[in-house]
Structures are given as C-alpha cells and as structure tokens.
Amino acid sequence: MKFEFTVGHDFNFPAAFAEKFKVPVFRNRLSIPASMGQGFIKQIDIEPGFKLVLHHYTLKQSFHLKRLSSADPNDLVSIIFNSNEVPTESTDDQLKAQQFLKNNGSAIQISSSRLGTETLFAPNTEVYFAVLGIKKPLLASILNIEKGNSLIKKILNGSASFFFHESMSVDAKRVLQQLSGMNDLEGLSNLYYKIKIQELLYLLFSKLLTRESSPLSTINKSDIDKLYAIRTAIIADVSMPPKLKALSKMAGMSETKMKQLFKQIFGDTIYNYYQKARMEEAAFLIRQAGYAVSEAGYQLGFSNLSHFSRLFEKHHGVTPKKYSFAG
C-alpha cells in the first residue's frame, strides 16, 4: 500500500488519505476499514500554523508513505515522531537491520516540510506515528531560546533545506501513547493536546541543544537516502566495526563528506553511533532475548568480556550482569 502527498499550509492528511483509499472521514478523523486493518488517523488543529496528524493503527499490508518534495517555499517545520526507517529492498543484511530497527529504531526526524521523505511500516505491526507541522515563527516563540547551537539556528532561521535525526526516548514514546488514547469529546481536549505536544517539543529540543555547534551543509533527498543506507549498513551487523572506505564506496560519497553529513544528521560520529547501537543490541539480547552476558558479548564480537562489561556500564549506567537481574 502506497500513499504519496505534498505538504502545504492547508494540506489535510486525513482528507487526502480518505479520498485516495475511499474511506469516510468525519471531523478530521477516519477509521481504518477492516479490509485494510484497524485503527485511526486524525488531524488535530491546535491553532493556525500548528497541527498534529496522529496515526495509530495495525495494517494488513506494508505501508509506504512518501512525502514528495515541493518547489514552493514555505516556513513549515515538519517533525515526524516514531518514524521507523527500513530499506525497501530485502537482502539478508537488510533483514537483520529491519529486525534491529523494529526493536530499537523508533526515532524522530526534523526537516523542512518541502523536503521529500519516505517511511515504510511493516504489516501486522502496531504503529504510533505522529507528524507535527508548525510554522517557524510560532516554533521559535514556543521554544524561546535566546542562544541556540548551529542546528537550532538552522531550523528556526535558515532558508535552505535541512534534515536531522534524533533517537526516540522512552518519555517521548509515553507521550505519543497518551495522545493516541485521548478522547476528543472531552471539553478540554484541545488544551490537553497542546500541553502534550509542547512536552514532545521540550523532550526533543532539550536533546538537540546538546549537539555540538558546527557549520552545517545544505542537504538534499539523495544525500539523505545515502546516509540512511550507511546507517542501515552500520547496524546490519553490530559485531563488526564499520569500515569507512567500504561505506564511502557503497554510498558513492567521499569519506570526508560522508563523515561530516553523518554527524550532521545523526548527531554523532559513525564509530560512536556504531558503539551505541552495539550496546543497545547488547541490552536487547540480555533482557529480551534471554542471552547470558558472556553469550551476548561473544555474539557482538567481544573477545574480552571485561571490555564488554565496561562499555556496557558506560552506556547503560549498570553492568550487564546487574542489567540482566533488573529485568
């Protein structure tokens, strides 16, 4: 199932989706028909220039959501919460990456609304997915940041296209689920939505403010696709450290440009990102998959378990042994 659209100030996602798939919509809300799955999509208009489209559903088919790039200038910032990016082709390594992303890959994308993006949701998977569209002046007023880093300045003041990726925290996931469960018929529903959306903005921008301030390059859809391919390759097998020369050749991009753009989008160097992904996978193996600490360490390529334990404690705050008992 595929849905393509272009964003503008007056774009209404539920109405456009309803027209495409011949689904009834009422008060900016539609229910997914049983033939497609179950759940809903609804648009929440907080105030002019500030709206949220909330998706909560389980679909029988994979869902390819494609926002087309737009040549029309606008000052809308698009913030996508819980976007699980997976490759559209299925090789063995990519399938491993898809499994990892399913367990650990909830994320947030911040971009110019005119920049094209793609998301693929797997079938028979419950999705909490929200898109916040907000005008730059209104976002700047809400944030009220006197001194921001280069990233914040790019989002609020820059005229060129931008795209950033941030991990989804447990607190942000909690807020998304609270938004999904809200009853629209309650008298103060609009106030509740506004408070919770501002909480999401706080959780996101408090992390973005910690990023290193450095010169930022203008980025396009082709660069984004290449950087996500690199990210997928990195986490496809976290038992092996990334080889920059091979990644550069795969992406058709110089090592210098690759390293600079990767850090710009994901907020960390390729190697640090790999180590964090490695430790997240270690936590998953120990707590969810039931691996012994030694088994998890060897599975992730560690020959020295003391080194594994030190890295794990540095990332998670506890040793892998204590972490296994805490579960």
Query: Tokens for 47?
Result: 């105030």
On whether residue 161 sits in a domain, the answer given is yes
Question: Do residues 25 and 134 both lie within one domain?
Answer: yes
pLDDT at 226 over 90: yes
Q: Are 81 and 132 in contact (CB under 8 A)?
A: yes
Q: Contact, 38 vs 58, CB < 8 A?
A: yes
In this model, does residue 126 exceed pLDDT 90? no
pLDDT 10s digits, 4-24:
988 877 889 999 999 999 999
Same domain, 186 and 270: no
List, as one string, the DSSP characters of 209-228: TTSPP-------HHHHHHHH
178-184 average pLDDT score: 81
- Secondary structure of residue 40 in the 3-state scheme: strand
| Strand order, beta sheet including 2-5 | 2-5, 63-67, 117-121
Cα 297 → chain centroid:
28
Predicted confidence at residue 8, as pLDDT, reads 76
CATH number of the domain that 304 lies in? 1.10.10.60
CA triple 13-19-24, angle to 5 deg: 90
The SS3 of residue 302 is coil
Q: Which of 187, 208, 229 is the last residue of a domain?
A: 208
Range(s) of the domain holding residue 231: 221-326
Q: Are residues 229 and 299 in the same domain?
A: yes
Structure tokens at 24: 């009834």
Across 56-65, 199-208, 217-226, 279-288, which has the greatest mean pLDDT? 199-208
With beta carbons less than 8 A apart as the criterion, state whether 262 and 250 touch.
no
Q: Is the pLDDT of residue 327 over 60?
A: no
The pLDDT assigned to 249 comes to: 95
Residue 182 pLDDT exceeds 90: no
Contact between residue 1 and residue 63 where contact means Cβ atoms under 8 Å apart: yes
| Placement of tokens 């700047």 in the chain | 140
CA dist list (Å): 232 to 89, 100, 106, 154, 250: 12, 10, 14, 26, 12
Dist CA 86 CA 83 (whole Å) = 9
Are residues 123 and 59 in contact, defined by beta-carbon separation less than 8 angstroms?
yes
- Residue 91 inside a domain? The answer is yes
Of the candidates 279, 281, 273, the residue with the CA atom closest to the CA atom of residue 242: 273
> How far from chain centre, in Å, is Cα 196?
18
The answer as to whether 213 is a domain residue is: no
* Spatial separation of the C-alpha atoms in residues 243 and 296, rounded to whole Å: 22
The answer to which of 14-23, 29-38, 97-106, 222-231 has the lowest mean pLDDT is 97-106
Q: How many Cβ atoms from other residues are within 10 Å of residue 170's Cβ?
A: 8
233 neighbors 98 (Cβ within 8 angstroms): no
Mean pLDDT of the chain: 87
Q: 185 or 66, which is more confident?
A: 66
214 is a domain residue:
no
280 and 137 co-located in one domain: no
Give the residue from 164, 180, 208 where a domain finishes. Answer: 208
Count of domains forming the chain: 2
Residues 53 and 118 in one domain: yes
Q: How far is CA 67 from the centre of its chain?
A: 15
Q: Does residue 176 fall inside a structural domain?
A: yes
pLDDT of residue 135: 93
Tokens matching residue 25: 């919509």
* Residue 211 confidence (pLDDT): 93
Domain membership of residue 45 (yes or no) is yes
The last residue of one of the domains, among 177, 208, 239, is 208
C-alpha distance from residue 260 to each of 20, 218, 264 (Å): 40, 12, 6
Please check the confidence at residue 92 and state whether its pLDDT lies above 60: no
pLDDT for position 296: 93
Do 318 and 262 have their domain in common?
yes
What is the length of the chain? 327
pLDDT at 98: 45
Residues 149, 250, single domain; the answer is no
pLDDT of residue 287: 84
Same domain flag for 28 and 154:
yes
- Statement to judge: residues 108 and 39 lie in one domain: yes
Q: Could you tell me if 45 and 23 lie in one domain?
A: yes
E strand or H helix at 307: helix 305-316
Lowest pLDDT segment from 36-40, 83-87, 152-156, 301-305 = 83-87
Q: Identify the pLDDT of residue 274.
A: 95
- Reported as a pLDDT band with limits 50, 70 and 90, residue 105 is low
Domain shared by 194 and 321, yes or no:
no
The torsion angles phi and psi of 254, rounded to 5 degrees, stand at -65, 155
Q: Quick one: pLDDT at residue 115?
A: 84
Single-letter amino acid, residue 48: P
Res 67: pLDDT: 87
Residue 216 within any structural domain of the chain:
no
Return d(Cα 100, Cα 280) in angstroms, integer: 9
pLDDT band at 73 (very low <50, low <70, confident <90, very high): low
Give the whole-number percent of the chain exceeding pLDDT 90: 58
